[in-house]
A and B are shown apart, each in its own frame.
Chain A
Amino acid sequence: MVIDISQFHDVFFEESFEGLDIMQSELLELKPGAADPDSINIIFRAVHSLKGGAGTFGFTAISELTGILESMLNDMRNGQKDITAEAVELLLESVGLLRGMLTAIKHKAPADDVLRADIQNRLTLMMAAETDDVLESDNLNDDSSAATQAVGGWEIYFKPHPHLFQTGNDPVRMLRELATLGEFSSEVLDEKLPPFSDLEPEDSYLAWQLTLKGDIPKEEVLEIFEWVDEDCDFTIQALAVEVSEPVEESMLDEPEVTELTSEAELPEQTVSNDEAVADAPLPELSLQTVDTVADGTNGKTAPTASSSIRLGPDKVNSLMDLVGELVITQSMLSQLADNFSPEMLPDLIDGLAQLERNTRDMQEGISGIRMLPIHTAFNHFPTLIKDLADKTGKKVELRLTGEQTEVDKSIMDKIGAPLALLVRNALDHGLETPNVRLASGKSETGSLEVKAFHQGGNLIIEVHDDGAGLDEQKIFSKAVEKGLLSANVELSVDKIHKLIFLPGFSTDDVLADESEHGMDVVRNNIESLNGVIDVQSTKGEGTTFTICVPLPFAIIDGQTVSVANEKYILPLVSIIETLEINETDIKHVTGKGELYTLRDKYIPIIRLYDVFNLKPVISDLADGLVVVVEARGQQIGLFIDDLLGQQQVVIKRLEDNYRKVQGLSGATVLGDGSVTLILDVAGLLALYRDPSLAMHNERAA
């Protein structure tokens, strides 16, 4: 039976990422010198599982690396190896590496072999430094190859010990198995069989003299007995080869005899292949060490180079179109399937042909380009934070969420540095020292959260710390000092905060050792991606930087809604619930419109046909539905006619060929080729508050 194990890969990736998360958080907690044995155990188990899975699913590079990590952790667990800060650091780096490797495999992208070689070398060196016997035990192959010599067959004596049945083994099955290997004959030796009255039915009394003829490798025979080698008397002897050849002559002179009653000999023989495989990486690795050291420093600079893709914008665009087409074909096919009848067969055949074409185009076009999970950018944050925390004596808990959020490579390249800077700043300047925190009634450990997610067609990244907040006065006076504004200007606190993004603004207080990369550089990078960066800060409570970057394309789960004979798509993630309400549930507030009380909170009711200036079909609240949606923390009730189906859609930007339209995040092409617009909840709210946003530009004179 052939089973395609790639079908289990997704589960493997999922559990592996979970395992790595666990390892990372345990490692960050680990106190060098005084490690909690439970923690080490948890880490060990995670590595162990990863190794097992990687081996099973054929990801050899990962099983190789985890093999080294496993033995290192095993030594730590047994107290044979000290848990040094350096070791923890290296383990953390390995976690990052493993995450990168898994991601690369998952996305069928090339792996960063240089980084892997580097980390493996360092691991091996660290292991070798303390355990001298690492490089031993590699000559096991010789024995087994000797055992594979062709022979005429085997003469076997097999006498199970009385308790054999209690191991769950059954001699009859083993003999049957043996018989499948070659020409088999057996003689039962029943001299040990007691009188019937003394017979213990659960015990084994018989012995066998077995002959197995044929050119059968010895391992195959031994494998059948490998589980019982301690529960039986067993000897195996080579039979004379029937057609003798010079080479085999020598074997005839000294028939090979293996006694299996002695301890551990059988395992060693039968298992030697496995061991040879398991041990092989170590000697190999030490060779690699020599290689990389020999060719100098490029070993460390290469990773960044090898991880970049060069692609012309045309190529990228055409690939994106292909993806779009594929999704359209798919949804066309599922629409067909929904109400299929025989006369639609030609459509189905066309659709399938189209799918085939799309898939082939994709396959051809896709090589090289890819979306990456953002964690590649997050990867080194734990290490960075740990370093900085150690240096500054601050305590911090780093939380990374949405690491699997997929981001276009072009965004990834530009967002890594600004993000790292924000994270650095949060720790350097945002968070206070433990003493200060305690004094101001906060917990000793600060919290730093980096959160990535998709919203509409945008990538949002938030960097939040619960530190001291921005110092308005300092920022203001610095801005004045730099001549960026005059001292008598009155600015709101919010506006003052935003001064830090001005070109040329970088105070030593805001940016310590990174003064050459100011916030303006961060902003420039974000803006070059057509994105925006914003800051929200409350004195004493903390600071949140929010980066919002439009994705070149994004696939979202959409809910189709109908209003005034039009259809729109709402991103499913923004929907909280759907309500049926009556006019009587509504409070009319002058200047604020209609408000609805939802669990003690007033939410504005926005009639979609109103903000879009459509001729309503349903205007009585009782006849339609209110969908409670959320954007940037604000909930609104969107009044629509009805909910229709849900489906995945590719967001395409309206501004690519037209312009941005207030209240819409883009449009998508449905299976039948028609276009449906996608609602932007935040934009709708803004439109509701300021209807003048709907005004289109006056025609140029």
Chain B
Amino acid sequence: MRTVPVRPGPAVPCGLPAAARPIVRLCLVALVLLAFAVPAGATTDDDQFAAAVDALALGSYNDRVAAIEALAALGDPRAVAVLEALMARDLYTRKDTGAVVIGAPADSRRQVRPVDPVTGTIGEPVRTRSLAKIRVNNRVRRAIRSALGALTLADPEPARRLDAAQAVFTARDPDQLVPVRRALEHEADPDVRAALVQAAAAIELAAGSPAERLAAIAVLAESSDPAVQALLSERLLDRDGAPVEPDDEVRAAAADALDRIEQRIAMWRLVGDVYRGVSLGSVLLLAAIGLAITFGVMGVINMAHGEMVMLGAYTTFVLQDAIRTHAPGLFDWSLLIAVPLAFAVAGLVGIAIERGVIRFLYGRPLETLLATWGLSLILQQAVRTVFGPTNREVGTPDWMQGAFETAAGITLTYNRLVIIVFALAVFAVLLAVIRKSAFGLEMRAVTQNRRMASAMGIRTGWVDALTFGLGSGIAGIAGVALSQIDNVSPNLGQSYIVDSFMVVVFGGVGNLWGTLAGALSLGVANKLLEPTVGPVLGKILVLVAIILFIQKRPRGLFALKGRAVEA
């Protein structure tokens, strides 16, 4: 064992108002004990544990330190509550029976509720006079802290062990070095191991010899955690700019390690930005892909496209509402059920719009634009009348919740990932429908030469209606996805309409691959600009860039060639 400088810590954790503290503490003690009461039998014998607890009350301070170490060595989670109580001077021996109890606060200041450390049962309040407080000194406190660290580091739950290791890293308490080393000996979980190694290095950096500090820096340099970055830069310079580290060699190593960590963090930030960009791009792709069909294939400017997205989102809302009341068990499946339903609702509304209004306006794109804008106003107001103007809550199934934590503290949420995959799947299915199915063939025939297609026996009017329905239905599907990341309100569609037109125009009309490329590049460009210039200016820059780009290539990235262009 190595000797380490003694640093007295605060004996009693505080922070709550004094009046609230007793109640909170009572609850905490009870909770901790109850939580451990069940698995406890599995880890140690009750009698053995009770004997170890009773040993705390006997003998001198030296004996007490030995008893604490023995108790910690049992590895019983129930020991945590006991040791915390001892630290807070809440551990007593009953004068009548000699049993060790935890004193939980009672209503009166002169009474405490005795809690049995083994079973966790709370007894009737007793007078404090009938109890003897178990005394502690600084040496005992240090032993308690070390034992507590070891106990949490030995918790059967890896997540708790990870928390404990991270707590040690932040506290950098030299007393914890030994428990950390001991925990490292039999730690199997790789994440916890890494955290423990880092914690040990952090302690050595603060309190070790120059050689140990050098070794610690070598360990820390492998990290890409912003906390490590902060730790190293603190070590280099304090707040007034004076160097903290006395040893030149160590200082140079720390500066070098800091550079490497910063580079790695910058790389992870970039990964995070690109992920967010691809995620935004996939949202744009979903919103624009239906537009690419109605606008790109049919030449119809559907300003009500955003409202189809909104209808899809509201379909999800209504469906979830019905599931909650009639079949709560299906809730995890609600989004999957909503996809075909939203497709049907938006698709049928789209077919109705095509048959009712748009077919009278073929060949007059600007009039179509105005009429569909009018329809979008009507749809918005209709939804506002039925569902009210406020945002509606659409739930997220459990399997979409959560996030990855990457190294540099960047979180990548699952729902975004699901949307990226979903958008690509929709894109692939649509491409297959247009390329491989009979309907796709008819659709392309009508697009390329309407009269010839008609002469070949294709019902062009019907194909028009179905194509418009397909485009609208896909917008409805987009609505299901958007309901997960955006507010479901009557204005939902409005916020996407300009962006989706930009995507289609940028990518090139009449080309689905262009839409894919356009959506992803606009999404990534937006998110890469965001950290440097801010979200609003970034968006403005992207818009201006598109306006300028269109001057150079008036037909977009992937332009159609041939006669169809002039039509």
**A and B associate in one complex:** no
A→B interface (CB under 8 Å) = none
B→A interface (CB under 8 Å) = none
